[in-house]
Amino acid sequence: MLRLISFITLLLILYYVLHFLIKDMLPLKKTRDRKSEPEELIQDPYCQTYIPKRSALKKKIAGKDYYFCNRGCLKRYLKRDSS
């Protein structure tokens, strides 16, 4: 009887240890945040610099979307484009 209780206790301890280890590993595979995914880069039409699309300034010019790294590049592009 003592062997059976010891065996069941050992199995329970093993189960909880494995459950704890697996539980910590599974969320890493399931959840992917934006930092681990590659970011889409777009090119600034004025300075030709590649910047992340989510942090770029977006301006619609003649029905087309343009992305700029900062307001200075946007202003210079508009000035050059109007000349």
State yes or no: pLDDT of 31 exceeds 60.
Answer: no
Q: How much is the pTM?
A: 0.55
State yes or no: pLDDT of 10 exceeds 60.
Answer: yes
In tens, the pLDDT along 46-71 reads: 999 999 999 999 999 999 999 999 99
Q: What is the pLDDT of residue 82?
A: 80
CATH number of this structure's domain 41-82, picked from the four choices 2.30.170, 3.30.2420, 3.50.30, 1.10.3470: 2.30.170
Residues 6-28: what's their mean pLDDT? 84
The full set of domain ranges for the chain reads: 1-31, 41-82
Where b means 16+ CB within 10 Å and e means fewer, 12-49 reads: eeeeeeeeeeeeeeeeeeeeeeeeeeeeeebebbbeee
Residues 10-32: what's their mean pLDDT? 77
